[in-house]
A and B are shown apart, each in its own frame.
Chain A
Amino acid sequence: MTFSTSLEGRVALVTGASRGIGAAIADLLGAQGATVIGTATSAAGAEKISARFAEKGVKGAGKELDVTSPDSVANVLDSIKAEFGAPTILVNNAGITQDNLLMRMKDDEWDSVLNTNLTAVYRVTKNCLRDMTKARWGRIINISSVVGSMGNPGQSNYAATKAGVAGFARALAAEVGSRGITVNTVAPGFIDTDMTKVLPEAQREALMGKIPLGRLGAPEEIASVVAFLASDAGGYVTGETIHVNGGMYMG
């Protein structure tokens, strides 16, 4: 038996696609044949995505989107649907960190991380769900973090959102399974991106010592799991959190 990982004919929306894991996901979904809309928080970021897609022969475009703004989400989704058709693959990847020890954490640090990492997942998913139920086919994939399962000092806000999206995925998977829609979470470990480059050297080395595979992950190694879940080959996986972390946390 063979199985298909082709995404030909699908429209995929990837939030936070200008760099890091989101960029790798958008590029790979495109390489598998999907029309991809990658979002960035600035017009310049969106143009960079469009240019990258053109260079790599990916169908689709970059779009400016503020996932924390209900108006921005509604307007941008309307324009995507008109231009490309409704996305039936949604990758909720956009995320931020604002680390602080809880005793020092400010309300705005808590609120901004919750808004971008968790509330936006609710908002964008809700907007896309109607068309997925009509299509009787959909793939919703949240990008979480190993920190949502194992914890990390200074990241109580971030960890809460990352555990939150996994719970969201399980509840929604139960809700819309009957419509052919799967909802999953991919939890990367220590991946070589701008987000992890800012970690102090001592902390990086301490983390590396805890990774059985002895190296950082590449963004493409997250993208390949997302592409599998998005394809027909991944069609029986739902409500699941898949850890991709070189063994640093084994569930």
Chain B
Amino acid sequence: MSSIEERVKKIVAEQLGVKEEDVKPEASFVEDLGADSLDTVELVMALEEEFETEIPDEEAEKITTVQLAIDYINQNLG
């Protein structure tokens, strides 16, 4: 069973087409990993599916880095 951190990193790498080793916790989706606004929406949708949850829009907007995504999942599904 992979940890939440590993699962989040794998999804980020898949969705944004980047290497998993580049998906550092502090990496910003837009500034460091080259995501555009539609990519970030799709990323949140992929996280929702992986973790079988619904992330409200106002929360989704705050998830801008890998660590923030991991934190959100930990806090809401832990």
| Secondary structure call for the A interface | helix
**B42 / chain A contacts, CB cutoff of 8 Å:** 133-134
- Mask, B41-56, CB within 8 Å of A = 1, is 0100100000000000
CB distance from A176 to the nearest CB of B (A): 7
B1 sits at the interface (CB 8 A): no
CB distance from A133 to the nearest CB of B (A): 6
**A176 / chain B contacts, CB cutoff of 8 Å:** 38
Count residues of A near B (Cβ-Cβ below 8 Å).
7
- Mask, B12-39, CB within 8 Å of A = 1, is 0000000000000000000000001010
Check if B38 sits within 8 Å of A179, measured CB to CB: yes
| Secondary structure call for the B interface | helix
Count residues of B near A (Cβ-Cβ below 8 Å).
4
Check if B45 sits within 8 Å of A178, measured CB to CB: no
Check if A175 sits within 8 Å of B38, measured CB to CB: yes
Q: Which residue of B lies closest to A133 (CB)?
A: B42
Check if B45 sits within 8 Å of A130, measured CB to CB: yes
Q: Which residue of A lies closest to B37 (CB)?
A: A175
Q: Which residue of A lies closest to B49 (CB)?
A: A134
- Alpha-carbon separation in the docked complex, A239 to B24 (Å): 38
**B36 / chain A contacts, CB cutoff of 8 Å:** 178
Q: Which of A106-144 contact B (CB under 8 A)?
A: 130, 133-134
- Alpha-carbon separation in the docked complex, A178 to B42 (Å): 13
**A134 / chain B contacts, CB cutoff of 8 Å:** 42
- Alpha-carbon separation in the docked complex, A175 to B38 (Å): 8
- Mask, A174-209, CB within 8 Å of B = 1, is 011011000000000000000000000000000000
**B38 / chain A contacts, CB cutoff of 8 Å:** 133, 175-176, 178-179
**A175 / chain B contacts, CB cutoff of 8 Å:** 38
CB distance from B16 to the nearest CB of A (A): 13
Q: Which residue of B lies closest to A179 (CB)?
A: B38
- Alpha-carbon separation in the docked complex, A176 to B41 (Å): 12
- Alpha-carbon separation in the docked complex, A179 to B1 (Å): 32
**B45 / chain A contacts, CB cutoff of 8 Å:** 130
- Alpha-carbon separation in the docked complex, A133 to B15 (Å): 11
Q: Which of A127-178 contact B (CB under 8 A)?
A: 130, 133-134, 175-176, 178
Q: Which of A216-232 contact B (CB under 8 A)?
A: none
9 contacts between A and B (CB under 8 A): A130-B45, A133-B38, A133-B42, A134-B42, A175-B38, A176-B38, A178-B36, A178-B38, A179-B38
Q: Which 9 A-B pairs have the closest CB atoms?
A: A133-B42, A130-B45, A175-B38, A178-B38, A176-B38, A179-B38, A133-B38, A178-B36, A134-B42
